[in-house]
Amino acid sequence: MPAATPLPADEQPTKLAVSTDEAAASVGLKPKTFRNWRSLGYGPKPTRMSPSMVVYRIEDLEAWLKAVQKAGSYKAVPLAEGGAK
């Protein structure tokens, strides 16, 4: 069976969510900081996919960044209700 040919960059599927590592890196933080904030009730709304896997929807990350920018501090933006801890 021939190897699968990768899709060109302009045809790659759009990512809907990212891991904690990717989310943290996208805003210049360490993953441990994101996990700590999550446990304290701060940060973007997480989605728990399994007992050991948390992801962040791109739209939730963007909304959180806008809220932090408006408020001036991550501490002024509590974790959205319903998020996984």
* Domain CATH number, residue 48: 1.10.1660
The SS3 of residue 50 is: strand
Mean pLDDT split into 10-residue runs, the chain, 85 residues: 67 84 93 91 90 93 89 78 47
Residue 84 lies in a domain: no
Please tell me the predicted confidence (pLDDT) of residue 83: 46
Residue 1 lies in a domain: no
Domain count, the chain: 1
Residue 6 lies in a domain: no
Please tell me the predicted confidence (pLDDT) of residue 54: 93
Please tell me the predicted confidence (pLDDT) of residue 50: 93
Please tell me the predicted confidence (pLDDT) of residue 13: 74
Residue 24 belongs to domain spanning: 16-75
- Whether 63 and 26 have beta carbons less than 8 Å apart is answered as no
CA distance 57 to 17: 4
Residue 64 lies in a domain: yes
pTM of the complete model: 0.74
> Which residue, chain included where needed, has tokens 């920018």?
69
Please tell me the predicted confidence (pLDDT) of residue 79: 72
In which order are the strands placed within the sheet that holds 17-19? 17-19, 53-57, 46-50
